[in-house]
Structure 1
Amino acid sequence: MILALPKGRILKALTPVLEATGLLSQPSPIDEKTRALRFPSTESQLDIVRVRSFDVATFVAFGGADIGICGSDVLTEFDYPEIYAPLDLEIGQCRISVARHPRAGLRDEAPSSKIRIATKYPVTARAHFASRGINAEIVHLHGAMELAPSLKMAHAIVDLVDTGTTLKANGLEETDVIAHVSSRLIVNRIAMKTRPQAVSDLIDRFRKGLRSQKK
C-alpha cells in the first residue's frame, strides 16, 4: 500500500500526528532536506510518498496511492468521485477567500457582469462568482497571485488565506470567505473495497494519533 503525504506547510503541521501513528522510519518523509520521494514505513506492506500538496488527491484518485492527506480546498476543486474522505485531521486550518485592492470596486459589480480573477482554483472561483450572477474570467496562476491586481492582470484573486499578512503586504484586503479549509485523510474507494482491513487499520492509526495530540 502507498500513503501520499503533502510537502510543505501541511506536512510540518502534520508531523506530531504522524509521529504518534508510529509509521515513520528512517529515512523519514518529514525530513524535507532529502530529495527522495518514496520512503519505507514501519509496516512492511506500506510505503510513504511525498508529493506536492495540490497533487495528493490526484495520486489517490488515479491509484498511485491508496490513502493520503490533503486540504479540503483541493477536494472541492477537483471533486474526484474515486475519493472518500473519512477523517478531518483539523490541521492546516485556513480559508479560501476573495481579495482585492480596496479601491477596485469589486463589491459594486452588477450581476451578469464579467470580472477577471487570478487563482489556482478555477473551478471554485467560477462557482463562487456564478452563484452571484457574475461571469468570472480566470487567469490561472500557480503562485504570486497577490501581484495580479497591481499589474492589471486581474480585478481580484481567489487564494488561501491564513493570517492575511501577505495580502496586506501587497495592498490587498480580504472581501469574501468562500470556504474554511482543513486537512483531510482521504482514501481511494477501490482500495477501501479490496483491502478494507488494511485501510481501516490505517484510518484508526491516524484517528488515535489525532486523539493523542488533543490530550
Structure 2
Amino acid sequence: MRFVLPKGRLLQGSLEVLRRAGIELRPPAERRLIERVGNYEVLLARAFDVPVYVEYGIDVGISGSDVVEERGSDVLIPLELPFGKCRLSLAMPAGKVVGPEEMDGYRIATKYPKITRRFFESLNVEVDVLKLHGSIELAPKIGIADAIVDIVETGNTLRANGLVEVEKIMDVSALLLVNRIAQKTKFEEINELVFAIKEVIRNGF
C-alpha cells in the first residue's frame, strides 16, 4: 500500500495516528522523495498536492479539509481525523474593518482562490482575488491587498501583523483520503486501516 503524507503541520499527527493504527511509517530522509517500510511506501508531498496524488493513483493520503475543498479532487473521504483543527477565515487590518458584504471591489490575498471566490459569490460581492503561496499576512501590510483569507490557529500571526479576524469561512481538520480504484482493488487492506483508525479515535487520540 502506498501512502502520501503532507509536509508541515500535519505530518507528526499523520505518522502518529497511523502508528497507533498499527502502521509504522518513516518519512523519507532528507532529499529522498519515497521511503519503503516493509510492505508500505511513503511519499512526502506539499500539503496542496496530496489530494492530487491520491486522485491519480496513490492509495491513501492525509490532508487538510481546506486543501481538499480548494482542490476539488475526486477522492473518497472515509474519516475526519482528530488533529489539524483550525479554521479558514477572512481577516483585515485592525483599523479598516468592514463586514464581508461591504467589500465590493476589495482585493483579497489568499492561497485559496476558489474557496474565496465562492464565499464572496454567495454574498453577491465582487472582489479581486490575488493568489499568493506564502506569507499572506504581508499583503495588506505592504498595500497590495485590502484583506486576506488564510488559516487561523491561535490568531497570534494575525495580531503580530496588525490584522483581525472578520469572519470564519470554514472549520478545518485533517482528513483520511482514499483513491477510488484502490478502494476496490485493495478493499480489505483499506477497510482494515479505516477500522483501525476509527478505533484509535474512539479510544481518544
Aligned to 2:16: 16
1:94 to 63, 78, 86: 86
| CA-CA distance at 1:53 after TM superposition | 1.2
Instruction: Note if contact 1:21-1:205 (Cα within 8 Å) is conserved in structure 2.
Output: yes
C-alpha spacing 1:3/1:102, structure 2 compared with 1 (3 Å): same
Matched residues, number = 205
Q: How do 1:58-97 and structure 2 match up within 5 A?
A: 58-63=52-57, 65-80=58-73, 82-97=74-89
Aligned to 1:141: 132
Q: Distance in 2 between matches of 1:84 and 1:69?
A: 11
Deviates more, 1:52-61 or 1:102-111: 102-111
- Encode CA deviations 1:132-174: one digit per residue, 9 max, x unaligned: 1111211110111001011111110000000000000000000
| CA-CA distance at 1:109 after TM superposition | 5.5
Q: Distance in 1 between matches of 2:202 and 2:36?
A: 25
- Encode CA deviations 1:19-67: one digit per residue, 9 max, x unaligned: 2123225xx21x7x6332212234x2x311111111110100111x111
Q: Distance in 2 between matches of 1:21 and 1:108?
A: 43
Letter of the structure 1 residue corresponding to residue 129 of structure 2: I
Scaled by the length of structure 2, the TM-score of the pair is 0.92
| CA-CA distance at 1:131 after TM superposition | 1.1
- Provide the secondary structure at the position in 1 that maps to 2:168: strand
- Counterpart check, 1:162 vs 2:162: no
- Provide the secondary structure at the position in 2 that maps to 1:9: coil
Identity of aligned residues (%): 40
Instruction: Note if contact 1:18-1:209 (Cα within 8 Å) is conserved in structure 2.
Output: no
Q: Distance in 1 between matches of 2:100 and 2:191?
A: 50
2:111 to 117, 120, 135: 120
Letter of the structure 1 residue corresponding to residue 31 of structure 2: R
Q: Distance in 2 between matches of 1:205 and 1:104?
A: 49
Letter of the structure 1 residue corresponding to residue 98 of structure 2: L
Deviates more, 1:196-205 or 1:67-76: 196-205
Instruction: Note if contact 1:23-1:41 (Cα within 8 Å) is conserved in structure 2.
Output: no
- Encode CA deviations 1:72-95: one digit per residue, 9 max, x unaligned: 101111122x20101011211000
Q: Distance in 1 between matches of 2:85 and 2:139?
A: 25
Identify unmatched segments of 5+ residues in structure 1: none
Q: Distance in 2 between matches of 1:69 and 1:110?
A: 37
Cα RMSD over matched residues? 1.9
Aligned to 1:51: 45
Instruction: Note if contact 2:5-2:14 (Cα within 8 Å) is conserved in structure 1.
Output: no
